[in-house]
Every structure is written in structure tokens, then in C-alpha cells.
């Protein structure tokens, strides 16, 4: 039953959701980003996040930006594991973020700019898997062939699996920018991060079809344990009494047991496939006891698990530095480096997922023991961008981002065992962004953006719960000057992820190995809107 005990091990090692940017980092931090993608040399108010040193290009005054995004993500995992019902089988999950806010504020006075940002730097939404995933169902599907191989008339299985997770990593950023001269500016700041993940779900109605009738798998194994208990107890008493080295025939001959006990124990051993004439009592007891406790273990783990409730919380701090260069008129270059953020999440568990049970000591093992701590870092990040105003009508921008995933610790688990990032990530994730803006009228600017993301994870990293694909994103939208001091931005973005296939050798509970393919697909939709206020002062031209 080892596969059953690992049923949920991978379930909650899921890193928090990321929508645009690195594996765990949200880069979609403004409506202007969604409509253009290349904001790394921005000198607008969203530069608080993308290019904080570039804020020195603002005129003296106070600036405020209020951003709202709606985000949805569809995920489809297909598995052809041979024992699944209807293999190959699709498993669909939906992630919805109805409110994804970002707030930026900056105060410019002379050569100094003091700025603040509040936004979900990681996560920000919830995932729902109404019909589970292969990691839910594959171990249950193995029940059919494994029991059938034992001569049990088991022909089918079913289950009700549901999982819902939410995650948000709020970032509170403060910093100061300083203009050294007309060409160079610098920034020093930091971001305090508070992290919270929640998990809820159930695994119920794990049933098998036995002799044409459906029954709970836990009831089947409980019945098996009950039928083995007299034999287990009888043999165990003889071992404890010092007769373990005898065969049953010898125990009868030496009057250790009577004829009725002999018939009961010998018949019981024969029923479970053990020839009593060929094994000692201790050897027979070893086999029976293993089956007895295995049935008790399976009955416990496969029983209905309802109203699971887990919360994880933690915090960390990110130092940030940046520089802005204006080598010539109309050309801006922005550079930013965010250091690695070490975050340790602590479990606050109300009701845990049970993944194993020790029937000898009557001890259940939960997936998230209350108070246990696990790492969930955010990686260091380097960005550089250029923005060039060709003329009064056209503006072009480009950016490059790299996330130092290999040096962080995402708390990743493989087969239930923690692994370092560099064991499952071959190279850091990289992005290239391009943006174009056209000033259609004095008040209206239209924009178009493209973002290419190249992931660097290995095949061992990819699971049905958390996978990283190469992707291509398109964004479009515009900016409208509502008043001389208020700009409205609207953006629409769509991300298509490359099809990803993982081919591996699966081994079922019988020890049979066979090639299995899982394919992973997803897409994102972004709708963003913002209002940018210049309460006094305006951006320098």
C-alpha cells in the first residue's frame, strides 16, 4: 500500500501560483505592463516596481497609481497511465483571481524620490481541481489489478477527490531614489513579504466494484483485517510463548496445541496461500501479520477524509537596488536587482490530510504536522530594459529578466523527499519583452507588447500539480489622459504555454513497469485597469 500512502504527498508541495514572470514571482504588477510588457525602463509611476531609479525623471510632486487586474488560468493535465478509468484521461483545473491589486506612491523633491508599493508579489489567487488529478487517482486505480491478482473479483474503482488552494504573498516596498546627475540615478530599497497559503479539500468515496457490487475500499480492507485477526492473534500467541521455531505439526506432536487449534491455524494459513507444513510458526506469523497490518493500514488511509483545513504563514525581506541611465535625449536604460528572499512557512493545521497509518502503534501521519516549517523562497531577480522615443508619435521598449531559481529553495519534493532547487532545475528562467506605443492623439496612446518566457526546469521538476512551460504572451491596450493630472490605462493580455510532455516509466503496485505519458497545458487571460494621479507636479518630458 505504499502508493496509497504517497497519494497526497505531492499534493501540497505545490508552490504558490505565478501568472506572469518567474516560476514563483509575479511580474504583472501594473496595467501598463499588461498592455505593453516592456516596462523595465519606465519613468512613469509604475517605475516604483519596474525601474525605481527612473522615478527621478518625474517632476517634483506626489504621484499615486491604483491598479486592478482580473486573471484566470486554465490547466489541463492528460495522463495515459494504463489503470486509469478511460485512459488517456483529462484532468482540468481552474485558477481565478477576481481582484489582483497594486498600489504605487512616490514623492519627488529635488534630487530625491521616496516611494512605496503594495502588491501581491507572489500568488494572489485560488486553484480548484473539481475532479482531482493523476496524483490523486493513479494510486487508487492500482487497487483493481493488485486485488485481482490475489484472486479477488475486483473489476473497477471510483473516488471523489476535490482540492482547493489559495496563496498570496503580499509585498510592502519602501525605497529612495537619488539623481546623481542628468545621466545617472540610483535606488536603494527593500520589500517586506508576508506569505499565506491555505489548502482545503476531501478524498471520499474511494470505492471498488467487488463481485459486481460497489463497496467502500476501506470496508473491504477492514473486512480483510477482521478475517485475519483470529489467525494473526493465534500465531502471535504461540510465537510469544516460545513456540515460534516449531512447525504446526511439531507443535501438535509436542502437545503445544490441541487438534482443534491445529485445524484452525493450518486451515487459516492454507487460505492465505501459506503451506503450514513448509514454514515455522514464526515464519507463518510474519506473513500473516504483515497482511493483517497492511489491511488495517489501507482501511485507515482509504477511509473518507473530509473538511481538511491547512494554513501556512511566513515572511521574508528582499533588498533591492537599481540604477537608471539616460545616455542621450529620449533614451532611458533601467537596471534593477532584487536579492533572494528566504521565506520559511509554518503549518497551522486544523485537520490534516492523512498519508500513512501505523496500526501497531496506532499513529497516523499527516501531510502537514502542526507547527512544522518548510522553505518557500523567492529567487533573486535581475532586470534590464531600454525605452526609446523615436519621435512625437512612436515609442519602443525592450526588456530582459532572469530569475535565479537554482540558488533558491522552493521546498520542492520528489516522491515525498525534499530536494534542492539545483537538483530539479537545470538553468535559470529568462524572459525577453518587447513593447510599442503609438500616440494616436494628444490624449490617447495605443500600445502592443510581446513577452517570451524560457523556463529551465528539468523533467523531474514537472508534476501534474506544478509545472513550468515555455510561453508566449501578447498584450495590448492604451492610455487615456482623463485630465492633465489623471491617466487611465487599460490592458488585455493572453499567455499561451508550449505543450509539454513527460514520458516516464511507471511501476504499479504489482511491480509491473510500463511507459506512461503525461502532458501539461495551460493558458492565462489578463484584464487590467489603472488610474494614475499626479496630485501636484507632472512627469518631465
pLDDT at residue 499, as a whole number:
85
The confidence band for 507, taking pLDDT boundaries of 50, 70 and 90, is: confident
pLDDT greater at residue 487 or residue 498: 487
Average pLDDT, the chain: 91
pLDDT at residue 20, as a whole number:
64
pLDDT at residue 16, as a whole number:
45
Q: Which of 36-45, 60-69, 144-153, 477-486 has the lowest mean pLDDT?
A: 144-153
* Cell numbers for 375: 522553505
pLDDT at residue 19, as a whole number:
59
pLDDT at residue 460, as a whole number:
84
Report all structural domains of the chain as residue ranges with CATH numbers, in order of start: 2-212+313-536 (2.40.160.60), 221-292 (no CATH)
Q: Are 50 and 66 in contact (CB under 8 A)?
A: no
Q: Average of pLDDT values for 385-412?
A: 95
* 129: Cβ contacts below 8 Å, ≥ 6 apart: 91, 92, 93, 161, 162, 163, 164
pLDDT in tens, 315-368: 999 999 999 999 999 999 999 999 999 999 999 999 888 888 999 999 998 888
pLDDT at residue 79, as a whole number:
93
pTM: 0.87
CA 408 vs CA 166, 381, 424: distances in Å: 22, 11, 12
The confidence band for 413, taking pLDDT boundaries of 50, 70 and 90, is: confident
The confidence band for 130, taking pLDDT boundaries of 50, 70 and 90, is: confident
Q: Which of 43-47, 225-229, 234-238, 458-462 has the lowest mean pLDDT?
A: 458-462
Asked if the model's pLDDT at residue 426 lies above 80, the reply is yes
Q: Average of pLDDT values for 377-400?
A: 97
At residue 346, φ and ψ (nearest 5 deg) are: -110, 135
pLDDT in tens, 52-94: 999 999 999 999 999 999 999 888 899 999 999 988 999 888 8
pLDDT at residue 412, as a whole number:
84
C-alpha to C-alpha distance for 448 and 442, rounded to whole angstroms: 18
C-alpha to C-alpha distance for 226 and 216, rounded to whole angstroms: 15
pLDDT at residue 14, as a whole number:
47
pLDDT at residue 467, as a whole number:
83
pLDDT > 90: percent of the chain: 72
Asked if the model's pLDDT at residue 203 lies above 70, the reply is yes
Asked if the model's pLDDT at residue 538 lies above 90, the reply is no
Q: Which of 7-21, 48-62, 451-465 has the lowest mean pLDDT?
A: 7-21
Asked if the model's pLDDT at residue 132 lies above 90, the reply is no
* 323: Cβ contacts below 8 Å, ≥ 6 apart: 53, 184, 185, 186, 187, 334, 335
Q: Average of pLDDT values for 503-528?
A: 91
pLDDT at residue 17, as a whole number:
53
Select from 337, 433, 493, 378 the least CA-distant residue to 120.
Answer: 378
Asked if the model's pLDDT at residue 216 lies above 90, the reply is yes
pLDDT at residue 537, as a whole number:
56
Cross-strand partners of 270: none
C-alpha to C-alpha distance for 407 and 429, rounded to whole angstroms: 12
C-alpha to C-alpha distance for 99 and 103, rounded to whole angstroms: 13
Asked if the model's pLDDT at residue 463 lies above 90, the reply is no
Select from 337, 333, 371 the least CA-distant residue to 352.
Answer: 371
The confidence band for 8, taking pLDDT boundaries of 50, 70 and 90, is: very low
Q: Average of pLDDT values for 149-176?
A: 91
pLDDT in tens, 15-34: 445 556 688 999 999 999 99
Cross-strand partners of 487: 481, 532
By CB neighbour count within 10 A (0-12 exposed, 13-18 middle, 19+ buried), where does 353 fall? Answer: buried
pLDDT greater at residue 176 or residue 268: 176
pLDDT at residue 264, as a whole number:
93
* Cell numbers for 106: 512616490
Specify whether the backbone of 415 is left (phi greater than 0), alpha (psi in -120 to 50) or beta.
left
Amino acid at each position: 500500500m505504499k502508493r496509497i500512502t504517497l497519494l497526497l504527498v505531492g499534493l501540497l508541495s505545490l508552490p504558490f501560483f505565478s501568472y506572469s514572470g518567474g516560476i514563483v514571482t509575479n511580474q504583472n504588477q501594473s496595467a501598463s505592463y499588461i498592455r505593453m510588457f516592456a516596462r523595465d525602463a519606465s519613468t512613469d509611476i509604475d517605475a516604483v516596481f519596474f525601474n525605481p531609479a527612473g522615478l527621478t525623471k518625474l517632476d517634483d510632486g506626489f504621484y499615486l497609481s491604483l491598479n486592478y487586474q482580473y486573471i484566470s488560468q486554465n490547466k489541463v493535465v492528460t495522463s495515459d497511465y494504463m489503470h486509469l478509468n478511460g485512459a488517456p484521461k483529462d484532468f482540468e483545473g481552474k485558477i481565478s483571481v477576481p481582484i489582483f491589486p497594486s498600489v504605487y506612491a512616490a514623492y519627488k523633491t529635488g534630487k530625491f524620490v521616496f516611494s512605496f508599493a503594495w502588491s501581491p508579489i507572489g500568488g494572489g489567487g485560488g486553484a480548484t481541481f473539481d475532479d482531482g488529478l493523476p496524483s490523486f487517482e493513479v494510486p487508487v486505480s492500482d487497487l483493481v489489478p493488485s486485488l485481482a491478482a490475489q484472486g479477488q473479483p475486483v473489476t473497477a474503482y471510483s473516488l471523489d477527490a476535490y482540492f482547493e488552494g489559495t496563496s498570496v504573498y503580499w509585498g510592502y516596498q519602501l525605497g529612495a531614489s537619488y539623481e546623481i546627475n542628468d545621466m545617472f540615478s540610483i535606488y536603494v530599497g527593500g520589500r517586506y513579504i508576508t506569505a499565506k497559503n491555505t489548502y482545503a479539500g476531501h478524498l471520499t468515496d474511494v470505492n471498488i466494484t467487488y463481485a459486481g457490487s460497489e463497496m467502500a475500499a476501506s470496508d473491504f480492507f477492514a473486512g480483510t483485517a477482521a478475517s485475519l485477526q483470529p489467525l494473526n492473534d493465534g500465531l502471535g500467541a504461540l510465537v510469544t510463548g516460545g513456540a515460534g521455531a516449531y512447525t504446526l505439526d511439531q507443535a501438535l506432536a509436542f502437545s503445544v496445541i490441541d487438534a482443534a487449534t491445529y485445524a484452525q491455524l493450518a486451515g487459516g494459513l492454507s487460505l492465505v496461500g501459506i503451506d503450514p507444513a513448509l514454514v515455522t510458526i514464526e515464519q507463518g506469523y510474519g506473513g500473516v501479520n504483515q497482511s493483517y497490518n497492511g489491511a488495517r493500514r489501507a482501511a485507515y488511509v482509504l477511509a473518507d477524509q473530509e473538511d481538511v483545513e491547512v494554513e501556512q504563514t511566513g515572511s521574508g525581506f528582499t533588498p533591492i537596488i537599481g540604477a537608471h541611465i539616460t545616455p542621450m535625449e529620449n533614451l532611458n536604460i533601467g537596471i534593477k536587482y532584487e536579492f533572494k528572499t528566504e521565506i520559511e512557512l509554518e503549518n497551522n493545521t486544523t485537520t490534516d490530510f492523512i498519508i500513512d497509518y501505523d496500526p501497531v502503534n496506532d499513529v497516523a501521519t499527516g501531510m502537514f504536522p502542526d507547527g512544522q516549517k518548510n522553505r518557500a523562497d523567492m529567487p533573486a531577480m535581475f532586470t534590464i530594459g531600454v525605452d526609446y522615443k523615436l519621435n512625437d508619435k512612436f515609442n519602443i521598449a525592450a526588456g530582459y529578466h532572469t530569475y535565479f531559481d537554482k540558488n533558491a529553495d522552493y521546498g520542492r519534493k520528489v516522491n515525498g523527499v525534499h530536494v534542492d532547487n539545483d537538483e530539479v532545475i537545470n538553468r535559470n528562467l529568462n524572459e525577453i519583452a518587447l513593447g510599442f506605443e503609438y500616440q494616436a492623439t494628444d490624449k490617447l496612446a495605443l500600445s502592443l507588447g510581446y513577452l517570451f518566457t524560457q523556463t529551465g526546469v528539468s523533467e523531474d521538476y514537472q508534476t501534474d500539480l506544478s509545472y513550468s512551460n515555455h510561453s508566449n504572451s501578447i498584450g495590448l491596450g492604451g492610455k487615456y489622459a482623463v485630465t492633465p493630472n489623471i491617466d487611465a490605462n487599460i490592458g488585455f493580455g493572453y499567455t499561451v504555454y508550449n505543450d509539454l510532455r513527460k514520458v516516464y516509466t511507471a511501476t504499479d503496485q504489482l511491480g509491473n513497469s510500463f511507459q506512461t505519458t503525461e502532458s501539461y497545458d495551460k493558458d492565462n487571460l489578463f484584464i487590467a485597469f489603472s488610474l494614475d494621479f499626479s496630485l501636484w507636479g507632472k512627469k518631465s518630458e
